[in-house]
Every structure is written in C-alpha cells, then in structure tokens.
C-alpha cells in the first residue's frame, strides 16, 4: 500500500477476501497518505458498524474518516 498515493481511500473492512483486520485497514489508509478514508464492505454479511467506528477511532487526528451508514 505504501506504493499507492491517493487523496481518498475506500478501505474494505469485510475481512474475508480483503483486509485481515480493522487495524490492517487503518494502517493501509495511513500508508496511502489519504486525506479521507471511507470504510466499505461491512455490516451485511461480515464486519459490523462497530468495525467502522473502530476504524474511525484508529485514524482520529490522522485521516478524516467518513462513515456512510446505509446498513440497517
């Protein structure tokens, strides 16, 4: 991920075919140098709203995290 530079990163939190953990997704967002990170792939079949919140907490003060809550 360090070879990728971006302003906005969409980071998957599903954890089966994507990142191994929420912590890994947060680290990847930092590695890209993104100013904004948006967690995706959580809340339906795997991953939870709490995972998205944890992602935001891990990046607080480092990367702006936008949680687009469409999960019911």
| pLDDT digit string, tens, across residues 24-38 | 999 999 999 999 999
CB burial readout 49-58, b (16+ within 10 A) else e: eebbebbbeb
As a whole number, the mean pLDDT across the chain is 91
pTM exceeding the 0.75 threshold for the entire prediction: yes
If you average pLDDT over residues 50-59, what whole number do you get? 96
Per-residue confidence at 70, pLDDT binned at 50, 70, 90? Answer: low
Count of beta carbons in the 10 Å neighbourhood of residue 36: 14
CA dihedral 48, 31, 8, 16 (to 10 degrees): -30
| pLDDT digit string, tens, across residues 13-25 | 977 788 889 999 9
| pLDDT for the residue 40 | 92
């Amino acid at each position: 991920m360090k070879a990728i530079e971006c302003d906005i990163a969409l980071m998957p939190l599903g954890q089966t075919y994507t990142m191994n953990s929420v912590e890994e997704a947060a680290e990847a967002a930092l590695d890209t140098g993104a100013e904004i990170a948006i967690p995706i792939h959580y809340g339906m079949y795997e991953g939870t709203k709490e995972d998205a919140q944890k992602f935001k907490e891990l990046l607080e003060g480092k990367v702006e995290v936008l949680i687009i809550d469409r999960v019911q």
